[in-house]
Amino acid sequence: MTLELRYGASNSIKLLTTERQTVRACSIAIPAIEDSLEQTLHTSLDKSIHFPAFKEIVFPEDTLAIAVGEGIPQTAQILQSLLDYIQKHTALSPNDITIVFANSTEAIAQNELQTLLDEFLFASLEFEVHNPDIPEELAYLTATLEGEPIRLNKTLVDADVVLPICTNLPNSIFGYAGFFHDLFPLYTETDTILRLRSKQNAEELTRDAGEAAGMLGVQYLIKVTPGNANTIHNITAGDTHSLQSAITAIANDVWNHPTNQAEISIGSISGSPTQQTWDNLARAYSALAKTTSPGGSIVLCTNIDGPLPGVIQLLSSNDATQNLHEQLKQHPEVDVQTAAEILRLRSEYHLYLLSHLNHDDVESIGLAHIESPDQINNLIQSAETINCVGDAHRSAFH
What's residue 249's pLDDT?
Answer: 92
What's residue 203's pLDDT?
Answer: 79
What's residue 373's pLDDT?
Answer: 87
DSSP 209-224: HHHHHHHHT--EEEEE
What's residue 200's pLDDT?
Answer: 59
Query: 37-226 — its CATH code?
Result: 3.40.50.11440
8-state DSSP, 372: S
What's residue 144's pLDDT?
Answer: 83
Domain with CATH 3.90.226.30 in the chain: 2-29+258-397
Per-residue pLDDT of the chain (398 residues; tens, 9 = 90+): 789 999 999 999 999 999 999 999 999 999 999 999 999 999 999 999 999 999 999 999 999 999 999 999 999 999 999 999 999 999 999 999 999 999 999 999 999 999 999 999 999 999 999 999 999 999 999 888 888 888 999 999 999 999 999 999 998 898 888 899 999 989 999 888 877 776 657 777 888 889 999 999 999 999 999 999 999 999 999 999 999 988 999 999 999 999 999 999 999 999 999 999 999 999 999 999 999 999 999 999 999 999 999 888 888 877 766 656 665 555 556 677 888 899 999 999 999 999 999 999 999 999 999 998 899 999 999 999 999 999 999 999 99
What's residue 334's pLDDT?
Answer: 67
What's residue 325's pLDDT?
Answer: 63
Distance in angstroms (rounded) separating the CA atoms of residues 73 and 27: 16
Q: Tens digits of per-residue pLDDT, 165-197?
A: 999 999 889 888 889 999 998 999 988 887 777
Beta carbons of 224 and 243 less than 8 angstroms apart: no
The CATH superfamily label for domain 2-29+258-397 reads LarA, C-terminal domain (3.90.226.30)
What value does the mean pLDDT of the chain take?
92
What's residue 332's pLDDT?
Answer: 54
What's residue 323's pLDDT?
Answer: 59
Identify which of 372, 350, 207 has the alpha carbon closest to the alpha carbon of residue 288: 350
Domain with CATH 3.40.50.11440 in the chain: 37-226
Three-state DSSP state, 169: coil
8-state DSSP, 16: E
Instruction: Give, to the nearest 10 degrees, the angle between helix 75-89 and helix 109-116.
Output: 50
